[in-house]
Chain A
Amino acid sequence: MKTCPQKTEVEQAVRSGQWPLGCAAELREHVASCEQCAHEARLLSAFATTRESAMRTAPAQSAGLLWWRAQLRRRHEAMERLERPGLAIPTATIAASTILLIAVLATAWKRIDWSRLIAACAPAGWNVWMVTAVAALLCGFALVAAIVGLPDKRG
């Protein structure tokens, strides 16, 4: 359906509160004969009167009280942020421990007599690779456990 060229004029008249008595007689005549504009005027008038009557029933709230509530909430949220344990310290501890462990192993690696150490500690028949695999697995478990155990970011 083609839009009536006078629809905008009707819209403006209703929105400015001039409809129907304050606007030109030609526009009223046009609306009486144009179905599209008649609907537009009816719809916009209905919204305008509904809005007006709704605004008359607005509850009397105190802006100061809302301001006070907002201030309290801001303060409460700031307190919560302060009380929430941070992630920085546990993360830094895990990272430092891992680096230290790698450094110690790298330094001592060549000095250790692995075959004697394994023979003393590991079950009979295990070679260096099996022991390394088990050690790596245990380190992985420890790392996962540490990460899972970190405090939740959302508190």
Chain B
Amino acid sequence: MSWNQAILEAQPAAAPAVASPAMDSAEFTAFYERSARPLWAYLLRCSGDPALAEDLMQEAYVRFLGATQPANADIAARRYLFRIATNLLRDHWRRPKASSLEDLPESFFAAGTSADEMAVQQQLARAMGQMRPRDRQILWLAHAESYSHHEIAEITGLATASVRLLLFRARKRMRKLMEGSR
């Protein structure tokens, strides 16, 4: 029995009419297959907490499905999903006692990779751990997801000019930190 069938059978007779979502189940499954792993990588590397990343990922998809999604374009939908995830991360960091990258062992970042990759990742992890959360997000979106300044602005809710400036400063800081850790 598919999930859709289960929902139809489980719903009470008096349930109110709900507006149908922009994506049907099959479309969503395909979208999920394409976007889940990059989203997971983003949440994991920016939060530094696998359990939190998993929770936020689930919540991001549920909110994505509950919201009015951008018209059809897959790229816009993916950007919108990253935007939801960015807001969830921000909400998490605003709460007291947020976990931080500094609390995690460096080996966590380098699981399942070769020695060279591990060294590079550890260097990056050390540097990322010393960056501000927002800088981490911007750096990741720019360098790991290859988003443009304009797209990052759309995802983070910042102005494009601010993104350009913040990214420039973050890269400068990252360079110093990475060179310092070599």
- Min CB gap B19→A, angstroms: 8
Chain B residues with CB under 8 A of A49: 113, 117, 120-121
Does the CB pair A46–B120 fall under 8 Å?
A: yes
Would A51 and B41 be within 8 Å (CB), given that A63-B28, A71-B7 are in contact?
yes
Which B residues between 1 and 38 are near A, CB-CB below 8 angstroms? 2-4, 6-7, 11, 15-19, 21, 25, 28-29, 32-33, 36-38
Interchain CA distance A50-B171 in the complex, whole Å: 17
Interchain CA distance A42-B124 in the complex, whole Å: 10
Would A50 and B36 be within 8 Å (CB), given that A55-B41, A57-B44, A65-B3 are in contact?
no
- Min CB gap A81→B, angstroms: 8
**Number of A-B contacts defined by CB within 8 Å:** 133
Q: At the interface, yes or no: A22 with Cβ under 8 Å from chain B?
A: no
Interchain CA distance A72-B110 in the complex, whole Å: 38
Interchain CA distance A75-B10 in the complex, whole Å: 12
Query: Chain B interface secondary structure, helix, strand, loop or mixed?
Result: helix
**Proximity bits, B54-67, A CB within 8 Å = 1, else 0:** 10011001101110
- Min CB gap B14→A, angstroms: 9
Chain A residues with CB under 8 A of B121: 46, 49-50, 53
Would A67 and B15 be within 8 Å (CB), given that A43-B143, A54-B44 are in contact?
no
**Proximity bits, A15-54, B CB within 8 Å = 1, else 0:** 1000000000000000000000001001111111111011
- Min CB gap A4→B, angstroms: 14
Chain B residues with CB under 8 A of A65: 3
Would A55 and B40 be within 8 Å (CB), given that A50-B109, A61-B58, A75-B18 are in contact?
yes
- Min CB gap B1→A, angstroms: 10
- Min CB gap B61→A, angstroms: 5
Q: At the interface, yes or no: B146 with Cβ under 8 Å from chain A?
A: yes
Q: At the interface, yes or no: A64 with Cβ under 8 Å from chain B?
A: yes
Q: At the interface, yes or no: A117 with Cβ under 8 Å from chain B?
A: no
Does the CB pair B28–A78 fall under 8 Å?
A: no
Chain A residues with CB under 8 A of B158: none
What are 5 sample pairs from A and B whose C-beta atoms fall under 8 A apart?
A46-B178, A50-B41, A56-B112, A62-B3, A63-B29
Residues of A participating in the B interface, judged by any CB pair closer than 8 Å: 15, 39, 42-51, 53-59, 61-75, 77-79, 81-82
Residues of B participating in the A interface, judged by any CB pair closer than 8 Å: 2-4, 6-7, 11, 15-19, 21, 25, 28-29, 32-33, 36-38, 40-41, 44-45, 50, 54, 57-58, 61-62, 64-66, 109-113, 117, 120-121, 123-125, 139-140, 143-146, 171, 174-175, 178-179
Q: Which 7 A-B pairs have the closest CB atoms?
A: A70-B65, A54-B41, A64-B3, A63-B32, A58-B40, A47-B143, A55-B37
Given A57-B44, A64-B3, A70-B62, 11 additional A-B pairs, CB 8 A: A15-B146, A39-B179, A43-B175, A43-B178, A45-B120, A49-B113, A58-B41, A63-B33, A69-B58, A75-B18, A82-B16
